[in-house]
Structure 1
């Protein structure tokens, strides 16, 4: 199942993050795809702030992961853009980040292929004129359920 959203600007991207946050039930793994500047971090910021985080949400490009404790769930924002070898994830204990209370948001997941859990939901952000097109694809039962909830809103 796919859902697509035309995002005219940053406000629309943040609003999509907020709509997703309202439907999140961990455990959930979301893979975010798109070119540099396509809005992956903006969407993540909208989601994380809608879950209750009041500070800045920055891309963890150098640290690889930024953790948040929100509403009884562990939220991990991964940015694997600078990952040189997926084996680096083993050294950081990647398996320890995923549990029944985890929401994982992974930018550039192809860089960690083979070591990351499969996505429940993928989000592809593509340039569309001045705006973006967000295509959400449910992969697992949890991802499909989230999309069904989002569609019924």
Structure 2
């Protein structure tokens, strides 16, 4: 995946297209942490990944639901938003440890809220606002 970064994205459509391309480098059991401010494009990136995995219906931010499961994807896609959580115990209460055992791709928005809960080997994409768009960089946790 490293060969795709850094990259500059200049529209929501381009962010979705990048997510589509990025999905080809993800497989069951992978965790993808998306780090960026409000409006950075985390959900658009996830929408592109879901589309590439076969999802034809809407993909929305799980801001209030905390987690959305897309079982019609192959592999399954589980999309988290930790923004509204106050403590790691809330994450454990929704079954975080069980999700880590699933044969799915896990995408986390706002993982920097609880960095101690991110498993080693997590793919991390940092999204920052720049003039005319976004700049994405990549690291492994």
Q: What residue is the counterpart of 1:79 in the other structure?
A: 81
Q: Distance in 2 between matches of 1:42 and 1:8?
A: 12
Unaligned residue ranges in structure 2 (runs of 5+): none
Segments of 4+ in structure 1 off by > 6 A?
none
Aligned counterparts, 1:60-71, within 5 A: 60-69=62-71, 70-71=73-74
Count, aligned residues: 138
The answer to whether 1:13 aligns with 2:15 is yes
| TM-score when normalising by structure 2 | 0.89
Change (3 A) 1:117 1:101: same
| TM-score when normalising by structure 1 | 0.83
Superposition RMSD on alpha carbons, in Å? Answer: 1.7
Which of these residues, 93, 100, 104, is aligned with residue 95 of structure 2?
93
Unaligned residue ranges in structure 1 (runs of 5+): 141-153
Deviation at 1:100, TM superposition (A): 5.8
Which of these residues, 54, 57, 60, is aligned with residue 55 of structure 1?
57
8 A Cα contact 1:86 1:113, kept in partner: no
Q: Distance in 1 between matches of 2:120 and 2:47?
A: 22
Q: Distance in 1 between matches of 2:90 and 2:81?
A: 13
Q: What residue is the counterpart of 1:146 in the other structure?
A: none
Q: Distance in 1 between matches of 2:130 and 2:81?
A: 23
Q: Deviations over 1:99-150 (max 9, x none)?
A: 262211001012233334235210011111121101122x27xxxxxxxxxx
Change (3 A) 1:60 1:119: farther
